[in-house]
Amino acid sequence: MDYLLALLQGLGIAAAIGIRPFLPVLLTGALAAADLGLDFEGTSFSFLEQPGFLLAILVLVAVFGVLDRRRGGDTSGRDPLVIVLLVLALALGALEAAGSVDDISADWWPGIPVGAAAAALGFAAARSLFGRVRARLDAEAQGALPVYAEGAALLAAGLSILFPPLAVLILIGLAWLMLGGRRRQGEKYAGLRILR
């Protein structure tokens, strides 16, 4: 049972990292350093709660924050910055999920693929949702979208750490958002076929 809870915890953290990669990593590292909900100390992933790693993530927050402001927070394109964010999200999600499992068991390797998959789901769902919402907002309101994304990511990570079974609801919600966006996109063109 503990193994399942650790895996669920890792899934939720990784999904949150997929939404926005850096602040959930900082929150997870801070909670792990304080031994609240998880603890990486004594595992192969102890570096995830070390000050040097967390400082590097903080630098990435600053760098990507500046780049995000220049781009207007838009992650709907396929430019190199979006690809870098995806790669970082997949790697960090896999590491955090494996670290969560390693806290409980020496068989931590399932956390790698599970974490990467959850991060990919979070990234795709957030990109789909915020891309649709961005299209409906004026420029000033679009600037607030990254703040909402960071808040959602922090909330998802915090809930997953403190109450691991809630990770299932987070994953279901992300899948629903992603599939709902695809369905709406299909409906958008269905009306055009009728007009022919």
Per residue in 100-115, pLDDT tens? 999 999 899 999 999 9
Examine the pLDDT at 125 and tell me if it is beyond 70. Answer: yes
185: left (phi over 0), alpha (psi -120 to 50) or beta: alpha
**What average pLDDT does range 87-104 have in this prediction?**
96
Examine the pLDDT at 182 and tell me if it is beyond 90. Answer: no
Q: What's the pLDDT score for residue 165?
A: 96
Write the DSSP symbol of residue 108.
-
Q: What's the pLDDT score for residue 155?
A: 97
C-alpha distances in Å from residue 132, one per residue of 19, 104, 128, 146, 184:
15, 40, 6, 14, 10
Per residue in 34-90, pLDDT tens? 999 999 999 999 999 999 999 999 999 999 988 877 776 566 667 888 899 999 999
**What average pLDDT does range 22-37 have in this prediction?**
96
Torsion of CA 24, 29, 30, 32, to 10 degrees: 120
Any idea where the domains of the chain sit in the sequence? 2-183
Q: Of 18-27, 41-50, 174-183, which gets the smallest average pLDDT?
A: 174-183
Query: In whole numbers, what is the pLDDT of the chain averaged over residues?
Result: 89
In the chain, % of residues over pLDDT 70: 88
C-alpha distances in Å from residue 178, one per residue of 49, 194, 195:
31, 26, 28
